[in-house]
Amino acid sequence: MTSSAVPAPKKVVLAYSGGLDTSIILKWLQTEYNAEVITFTADLGQGEELAPAREKALKMGIKPENIFIDDLREEFVRDFVFPMFRANTVYEGQYLLGTSIARPLIAKRQIEIARMVGADAVCHGATGKGNDQVRFELGYYALEPDIHVIAPWREWEFKSREALLDFAEKHQIPISKDKRGEAPFSVDANLLHSSSEGKVLEDPAVEAPEFVHQRTISPEDAPDTPTVFTMGFEKGDAVSIDGVALSPAELLTKLNQLGHDNGVGRLDLVENRFVGMKSRGVYETPGGTILLAAHRGIESITLDRGAMHLKDELAVKYAHLIYNGFWFSPEREMLQAAIDHSQAKVSGTVRVKLYKGNVSIIGRESPNSLYDQDLVTFEEGVQAYDHRDAAGFIKLNALRLRVLGKRDARDNG
Amino acid sequence: MTSSAVPAPKKVVLAYSGGLDTSIILKWLQTEYNAEVITFTADLGQGEELAPAREKALKMGIKPENIFIDDLREEFVRDFVFPMFRANTVYEGQYLLGTSIARPLIAKRQIEIARMVGADAVCHGATGKGNDQVRFELGYYALEPDIHVIAPWREWEFKSREALLDFAEKHQIPISKDKRGEAPFSVDANLLHSSSEGKVLEDPAVEAPEFVHQRTISPEDAPDTPTVFTMGFEKGDAVSIDGVALSPAELLTKLNQLGHDNGVGRLDLVENRFVGMKSRGVYETPGGTILLAAHRGIESITLDRGAMHLKDELAVKYAHLIYNGFWFSPEREMLQAAIDHSQAKVSGTVRVKLYKGNVSIIGRESPNSLYDQDLVTFEEGVQAYDHRDAAGFIKLNALRLRVLGKRDARDNG
Amino acid sequence: MTSSAVPAPKKVVLAYSGGLDTSIILKWLQTEYNAEVITFTADLGQGEELAPAREKALKMGIKPENIFIDDLREEFVRDFVFPMFRANTVYEGQYLLGTSIARPLIAKRQIEIARMVGADAVCHGATGKGNDQVRFELGYYALEPDIHVIAPWREWEFKSREALLDFAEKHQIPISKDKRGEAPFSVDANLLHSSSEGKVLEDPAVEAPEFVHQRTISPEDAPDTPTVFTMGFEKGDAVSIDGVALSPAELLTKLNQLGHDNGVGRLDLVENRFVGMKSRGVYETPGGTILLAAHRGIESITLDRGAMHLKDELAVKYAHLIYNGFWFSPEREMLQAAIDHSQAKVSGTVRVKLYKGNVSIIGRESPNSLYDQDLVTFEEGVQAYDHRDAAGFIKLNALRLRVLGKRDARDNG
Amino acid sequence: MTSSAVPAPKKVVLAYSGGLDTSIILKWLQTEYNAEVITFTADLGQGEELAPAREKALKMGIKPENIFIDDLREEFVRDFVFPMFRANTVYEGQYLLGTSIARPLIAKRQIEIARMVGADAVCHGATGKGNDQVRFELGYYALEPDIHVIAPWREWEFKSREALLDFAEKHQIPISKDKRGEAPFSVDANLLHSSSEGKVLEDPAVEAPEFVHQRTISPEDAPDTPTVFTMGFEKGDAVSIDGVALSPAELLTKLNQLGHDNGVGRLDLVENRFVGMKSRGVYETPGGTILLAAHRGIESITLDRGAMHLKDELAVKYAHLIYNGFWFSPEREMLQAAIDHSQAKVSGTVRVKLYKGNVSIIGRESPNSLYDQDLVTFEEGVQAYDHRDAAGFIKLNALRLRVLGKRDARDNG
């Protein structure tokens, strides 16, 4: 374990976006720690070009071999988003965990790079009040227990936004004009979602302004006619749209477009952070919102009741683990083992209708269907089910309640 | 407990709607059991006039003093719907339990009437394949353990719909023309919801036709401009709309109208019945859909994280209990005690926006708010939160993962 | 599914012990159903010779090729007992599920034999008031959905024990003298436990007499000096005693002997049956009681906290599933997947001390240990843990409670 | 909330045992903080005289009006121990939470005293590696959100035991001879239990020496004849022994004596601390071990199955809350509300047998008993239960498994 007297880190892998804040951090690592900085920039589908990040890093003196830019979109959807959606999990009844699920992958890749380049530290740009610092650092520590973690926002002495900008100016870090003034809110984005929080969103009594939304048009602006399509599933994962097989990232990208165009996936929420306070955020998860509904749809005909009800119980705890940053924990892996076990036959096709913010499942089909028309029909003839069995079923389910009713009548009599 | 050799019941309280099926049952009780029949017709907000039920009962020879017609709408919403909504509970992730929650009240009132009139039996018109028979009978047995329960659909010898209609004809029970042919689906309704199932809905691959919907217009037909209003809450229950205090049933009626007009609350679902098979239903819960969202909204600022997360875990089990008919069970009451305990400060106001099927919470305010702007703001100055605390928080949360990571590295090394 | 008009079964696989009751059933199947009977007798370690069962079956006209006598002890312990003990599961806080866990194996083997011989029915000797009928039949139906199940105790017309014995006499079934009078209690036994219930045990206020115990001597009669030994574990399963590798059944046999000799594993319990009533039983689980303690012991140093706490939560539900007969259900398999995932590193050695009914774990060692003396020691020097981290940990855990405390003070002020 | 620039505390309520460590803390508060110290010494049944604590405090200059010595034994058992035992809760399957449950009461009383004397800070003597610091401080913060908390063991600069003793010597704090050398282990005690940990217990592979035990004689040394007595319960709490009504603390004291004399309640355990590491402790909970068994015994005949099973699920989470210090949290109170609701009829009498470490429940009786001999008897005549009901019960429970079995056969076929 690290002690208070550990030697200063010499090589640091920084999660680097190329933006102002992580550029300041980069410079601060160079000046404060005198450390060799390795930048790592991930394409998680946040929708920004990554080429500028390389240029900026070079300009700030990072050696070309110390610049890592990775397209992690397929890994992100395949190994993180899809396993999570198998669980139908939502945090506090509503949030689809779009930010939470990206952090463990970034942490994992940073550690992999640290091993490749022989770095002894990692650094992230998450603030000291949020959940992301926890998610990054639990990932780092789980994967590399003795790594040195640098969290500049908890460490440095800058007392204000002004002080930060002064430091940037002093070190020739370019500041775009819109950063000079206060940004009206802060954003995180990846292929699963965009989140916005802070500033104009801080009063939960006030409606979120339209301009904070980035990934969806408003339901009001969406077309007046529905969009209908089919989604194919195999073993719990979506694999095709309208019969066209797609890779995980391609599929989520396509769902995002469909969701965006139909105003699907907006959420305005006050949530409870792991670090203890409530915060208000606006989330846009267009593709994920569709995926959740469609996955529930295919499960509804292919998953046994016992499995479904157990999943529903486990999903609450699962959400807490993801939200709190415990992706790389034995208990998350145990839950995943249970959930994945349930998905072996969750294959088939779902018809989805999008209309001005609504997602409706309007049809489900599967060769593995457990839905048996003979069992539910009001018609007779096929003797699949003996009504009289229900009498015994009820009698024995009632037995303890009857004994109880008699006891309580006796006591109160 | 009843034995197989119990004497035949002499007085039976029948849950009587006045419709064809329960009229046939009424006659069958008279002819088959030679029993004195007491009819009980409840107004649960199903939207039908009850006067005809009285007339029909009289025509079939029921004595006036044996006809009970009760308006239970306020009791229904106050003592059943609202306590359930305090739990934010949904069955299988989606169903708002609109049918399930009405059955215990009907059972309770039937038993009360049986005691008043000295009846030794109760009778319901639920079929032998459904959940409702279970819900009715668990209620009967819990409240009156030795009551004789008659479930005609499980007992009688009619082999087909034709045979039933012949019996009706033979006994001068009027059959409306549309009942001669096959009804295209079957309906249950109360103040909380309408459900439709069977026939045209039996193939889950086929979209539900527009004509099955009864309580909502289609989102496509809803107005092009949003409807915005506020809802007031006290201790977890909704008490007002736009500042106007309303009784529970008035409030739900008003929400139903708002939901209806904006195409809110449709659900097309394949669910797992307690009696073992899957069935497909179309539910419309306009007011309940709004109520759930608004209740989550007011809880989001007034409920502590620990309470909320525990509630989310309990809600899954709570839904199973309600769905399966265990309202009058010790375990449901235990969960209710826990849930109600949490609601003491869940008071305040929520702003709701409805638009073509969407329900959005766009503002929340409460004198009991736990949301603290000082704690989340990016701004500095007010030292409400020490960033450095987060370091220790993460370190100790990570400790076991680090020990684990070292162990596993050692084992694999 | 079976209908009420299914043809009578022609070949029946009977779970046959060779005792009086199943001999009567055998004869009844021959006389009542005119069916060809296949007898299946399992050695599950119940401690009875099986040769007489063959002879009796032959005498009753069963063809030699229709007599199946299988030693299932290794399969029982390896595939049923051990997986269950990985979960540390107990029913209602105390019962080690010794009867429950044997039923699925018998059901499974009966179905296998039915397939081999082309039988269309299976039959068991469990009564209509107990849990075992449920466990057998859920197993049958899960593995062979269309099998015809015969449960004589629920079907036949014998009204009393006398009537049964008369039938036996009439059909020349030998009745040992002690069966003529009333047996003072009834017994079930296998390698995991013996259970006794009924008759002299029916009043839960009265102490169980010493003579009902079969598998253990009384603690009072056990030696005055402790027995100490070690148990080796690999991946959650016990594999050796005092360093000697043993097969699963050998190991449990040895533990049973050790437990027996030291008066270990008695339990006198009133439990809740799945069929709805309370019953009182005396259980003796000598080896299992030791195994549970030792397994907890090895887990205590090799299992992570998160995994252990999740296991503890899952174990309650797991016990209900086993007790209620849902071994062959998706939800049991899901839980098993989670539990098994946790056991990969649960290897090492535990020292056990037995003394007059007590089982104490007095030492645990493992190459996979997560116990770190440096982390807990009061001594200083090794800086494995920074005390100051605890301050931040507490502060953030307290944050929501502080906000809450202020809110509630404000509201009450 | 406290900020980094809060003024130094002026008046501190110290949890003061009178022992060496808290005497050093007292002096350190005086010298380091220049604070007026209020000592609070609680009698929780730890078995030490409290008069010396007063004398020592006086000697160290504490004003008489600043010395609080309270007998909290009745409050401890009535309001903390008993509510916890209603839940039958154990941590990690074994630990009866004897230390955990005392901390909230000490915290509560310290805050009450702080309010009385107008103190602005509280101080405890728990170390920085343990759970107790968390339990104390979560209590303080929940009850008095802005209180200043002083945790000397996390703050001061003493680098070794020697440095501490030097400080003591310098300040004329008397050091008993046995404290000069290293204590071979450390102890916590109250009316519920004694715990021992550290030093000679640090290697979990080595058996705990006999001399660490303080509250129980060894089973080997216990009498050769059993002790049998009855315990009376009312609404879930023990109220009498052998028919003699006793107050909560009297009753637990008596049970402790009975347990002590019969070698009951020893536990040698490796557990997972909330702060992240594993630790090994020896616990002695003589009375509590008996109370748990007896409470389960009375519940076994008076508590409905649904209530019991729900309790068993809740008890796992409840234990985690108590262990981690969240007594004063909404979620603990919610669980308590559910648990307390279940106890209304948990009244009656249990016969208990103690023998050399064993606790056996050998009889239970209650006017509220749900045990119904008619329902379980093998005898016939009384037709309390229709065996044929079981057929339907099984059929409907099996239905989903049969549909599943057919599906899977089809898929694999």
The residue length of chain D stands at 413
Domain stop point among B163, B179, B195: B179
SS3 state of residue A7: coil
Could you tell me the end-to-end alpha-carbon distance of chain A, in angstroms, rounded to an integer? 67
Domain stop point among C116, C150, C179: C179
Is B22 annotated as ligand-binding? yes
Tokens of A392: 């015994």
Q: How confident is the model at residue D49 (pLDDT cuts 50, 70, 90)?
A: confident
The mean pLDDT value of chain C amounts to 93
- Best-predicted range by mean pLDDT (A205-209, C158-162, D170-174): A205-209
Contact in structure between D276 and B397 (CB atoms under 8 Å) = yes
Q: Is residue A6 in some structural domain?
A: no
Region B68-89: what's the mean pLDDT? 98
Does the CB of C385 have a partner CB in chain B at under 8 Å? Answer: yes
pLDDT for position B3: 40
Beta pairing, strands A237-241 & A358-365: unpaired
Select the more confidently predicted residue: C393 or D379. C393
The mean pLDDT value of chain A amounts to 93
pLDDT over 90 for what percent of chain C? 86
Region C388-407: what's the mean pLDDT? 94
Q: How confident is the model at residue C36 (pLDDT cuts 50, 70, 90)?
A: very high
pLDDT over 70 for what percent of chain C? 94
Residues B138-187: pLDDT tens digits? 999 999 999 999 999 999 999 888 899 999 999 999 887 766 666 777 88
pLDDT for position D372: 87
Does the CB of A368 have a partner CB in chain B at under 8 Å? Answer: no
In a shared domain, residues B29 and B110: yes
Q: Is residue A260 in some structural domain?
A: yes
Does the CB of D188 have a partner CB in chain C at under 8 Å? Answer: no
pLDDT over 70 for what percent of chain B? 94
pLDDT at C183 exceeding the cut of 90:
no
* C-alpha–C-alpha distance, residues B368 and B376, integer Å: 18
Query: Residue A313 is part of a domain; what is its CATH number?
Result: 3.90.1260.10
Per CB-CB distance under 8 Å, the chain C contacts of A3 are 383-384, 386
For C225, other C-beta atoms within 10 Å of its C-beta total 9
D116-130: b or e for each residue (b if 16 or more CB lie within 10 Å)?
A: eeebbbbbbbbbbbb
Query: Residue A112 is part of a domain; what is its CATH number?
Result: 3.40.50.620
Q: Alpha carbon C274 to chain centroid distance?
A: 15
Phi, psi of D55 (to 5 degrees): -60, -45
In a shared domain, residues D248 and D168: no
In a shared domain, residues B255 and B325: yes
Q: Is residue A204 in some structural domain?
A: yes
Please provide the DSSP assignment of A223-280 as one string: -SS-EEEEEEEETTEEEEETTEE--HHHHHHHHHHHHHHTT--EEEEEEE-TTS-EEE
pLDDT at B375 exceeding the cut of 80:
no
**Which residues constitute the domain of residue B344?**
186-365
Find the range with the poorest average confidence among B344-353, C32-41, D6-15: D6-15
Q: How confident is the model at residue A353 (pLDDT cuts 50, 70, 90)?
A: very high
pLDDT for position B380: 47
**C132 carries an active-site annotation:** yes
In a shared domain, residues C145 and C49: yes
Does the CB of C145 have a partner CB in chain B at under 8 Å? Answer: no
Residue type, C157: E
The residue length of chain B stands at 413
Contact in structure between C312 and D318 (CB atoms under 8 Å) = no
Q: How confident is the model at residue A223 (pLDDT cuts 50, 70, 90)?
A: very high
Whether D403 sits inside 8 A of A345 (CB atoms) is: no
Phi, psi of C350 (to 5 degrees): -125, 140
* C-alpha–C-alpha distance, residues B125 and B106, integer Å: 12
Beta pairing, strands B358-365 & C11-15: unpaired
pLDDT at C374 exceeding the cut of 80:
no
Contact in structure between A327 and A321 (CB atoms under 8 Å) = yes
* Strand order across the beta sheet in which A244-245 lies: A244-245, A237-241, A227-234, A348-355, A358-365
Considering only residues 1 to 30 of chain A, which have any Cβ-Cβ distance to chain B shorter than 8 Å? Answer: 1
Whether D154 sits inside 8 A of C328 (CB atoms) is: no
Region B261-279: what's the mean pLDDT? 97
Residue type, C378: F
Number of domains into which chain A is organized? 3
Region A222-241: what's the mean pLDDT? 98
Find the range with the poorest average confidence among A286-295, C330-339, C381-390: C381-390
Is D19 exposed, middle or buried (CB count within 10 Å of its CB: 0-12, 13-18, 19+)?
middle
In a shared domain, residues C33 and C174: yes
Helices (H), D37-151: 51-59, 73-76, 82-86, 103-117, 132-143
**A132 carries an active-site annotation:** yes
Is A135 annotated as ligand-binding? yes
pLDDT for position B137: 98
Q: What angle do CA A135, B293, B136 make, to 5 degrees?
A: 115
HEC-encoded secondary structure of A281-305: EEEECHHHHHHHHHHHHHHHHHCCH
Q: What angle do CA A108, A113, A115 make, to 5 degrees?
A: 100
Q: What is the largest CA-CA distance in chain D?
A: 88
Closest CA to C95 of C353, C297, C279: C279
In a shared domain, residues B154 and B208: no
For C230, other C-beta atoms within 10 Å of its C-beta total 16
* C-alpha–C-alpha distance, residues B28 and B32, integer Å: 5
pLDDT over 70 for what percent of chain D? 94
In a shared domain, residues C203 and C350: yes
Find the range with the poorest average confidence among B172-181, B197-206, D384-393: B172-181
Closest CA to D93 of C343, C370, C294, A321: C294
DSSP D145: T
Listed in sequence order, the residues at least 6 apart from A137 whose beta carbon sits closer than 8 Å to its beta carbon are A107, A124, A149, A151, A325, B394, B398
Q: Is residue B68 in some structural domain?
A: yes
DSSP A201: G
* C-alpha–C-alpha distance, residues C330 and A226, integer Å: 38
Contact in structure between C226 and C359 (CB atoms under 8 Å) = no
Q: Is residue C92 in some structural domain?
A: no
Region B75-95: what's the mean pLDDT? 98
- The catalytic position among C70, C79, C186, C340 is C186
In a shared domain, residues A207 and A251: yes
- The catalytic position among B103, B266, B332, B364 is B103
Cα-based torsion angle of the residue sequence A259, A263, A266, A268 in order, rounded to the nearest 10 degrees? 180
Cα-based torsion angle of the residue sequence C309, C311, C315, C321 in order, rounded to the nearest 10 degrees? 140
Region D42-61: what's the mean pLDDT? 93
Is A127 annotated as ligand-binding? yes
pLDDT over 90 for what percent of chain B? 86
In a shared domain, residues D206 and D314: yes
Q: How confident is the model at residue B1 (pLDDT cuts 50, 70, 90)?
A: very low
Q: Is residue B170 in some structural domain?
A: yes
Does the CB of B278 have a partner CB in chain A at under 8 Å? Answer: yes
Find the range with the poorest average confidence among B166-180, C21-35, C207-221: B166-180
Does the CB of D334 have a partner CB in chain B at under 8 Å? Answer: yes
SS3 state of residue D10: coil
Per CB-CB distance under 8 Å, the chain B contacts of A363 are 204-207
* C-alpha–C-alpha distance, residues B168 and B188, integer Å: 22
Region D30-59: what's the mean pLDDT? 94
pLDDT at A379 exceeding the cut of 60:
no
Contact in structure between B412 and B406 (CB atoms under 8 Å) = no
pLDDT at A407 exceeding the cut of 70:
yes
Q: Is residue C146 in some structural domain?
A: yes
Radius of gyration of chain C (CA): 26
**A186 carries an active-site annotation:** yes
Residue C55, min C-alpha distance to chain D (Å): 29
Whether D300 sits inside 8 A of C309 (CB atoms) is: no
pLDDT at D228 exceeding the cut of 70:
yes
Domain stop point among A127, A161, A179: A179
pLDDT for position A181: 66
Residues D137-189: pLDDT tens digits? 999 999 999 999 999 999 999 988 889 999 999 999 988 776 666 677 788 99
pLDDT for position C384: 60
In a shared domain, residues C196 and C342: yes
The mean pLDDT value of chain B amounts to 93
pLDDT for position A396: 95
What ipTM was predicted for this assembly? 0.95
pLDDT at A142 exceeding the cut of 50:
yes
Q: How far is CA C99 from CA C132, C135, C189, D300, in A?
A: 8, 10, 7, 19
* C-alpha–C-alpha distance, residues B201 and B386, integer Å: 58
In a shared domain, residues C301 and C350: yes
Residue type, A225: T
In a shared domain, residues C166 and C203: no
pLDDT at D382 exceeding the cut of 50:
no
pLDDT at A1 exceeding the cut of 60:
no
* C-alpha–C-alpha distance, residues A82 and A295, integer Å: 10
HEC-encoded secondary structure of chain B: CCCCCCCCCCEEEEECCCCHHHHHHHHHHHHHCCCEEEEEEEECCCCCCCHHHHHHHHHCCCCHHHEEEEECHHHHHHHHHHHHHHCCCCECCCECCCCCCCHHHHHHHHHHHHHHHCCCEEECCCCCCCCHHHHHHHHHHHHCCCCEEECHHHHCCCCCHHHHHHHHHHCCCCCCHHHHCCCCCEEEECCCCEEEECHHHCCCCCCCCHHHCCCCCCHHHCCCCCEEEEEEEECCEEEEECCEECCHHHHHHHHHHHHHHCCCCEEEEEEECCCCCEEEEEEECHHHHHHHHHHHHHHHHHCCHHHHHHHHHHHHHHHHHHHHCCCCCHHHHHHHHHHHHHCCCCCEEEEEEEECCEEEEEEEECCCCCCCHHHHCCCCCCCCCCHHHHHHHHHHHHHHHHHHHHHHHHHHC
Region B38-52: what's the mean pLDDT? 94
Region B40-51: what's the mean pLDDT? 93
Q: Is residue D81 in some structural domain?
A: no
* Strand order across the beta sheet in which C244-245 lies: C244-245, C237-241, C227-234, C348-355, C358-365
Contact in structure between A42 and A106 (CB atoms under 8 Å) = yes
pLDDT at B242 exceeding the cut of 60:
yes
Chain C contact probe: residue of D6, D21, D92 with most C CBs at under 10 A: D92
* C-alpha–C-alpha distance, residues C361 and C364, integer Å: 8
* C-alpha–C-alpha distance, residues A404 and D333, integer Å: 26
Q: Alpha carbon C341 to chain centroid distance?
A: 22
Residue C126, min C-alpha distance to chain D (Å): 11
Residues C236-252: pLDDT tens digits? 999 999 999 999 999 99
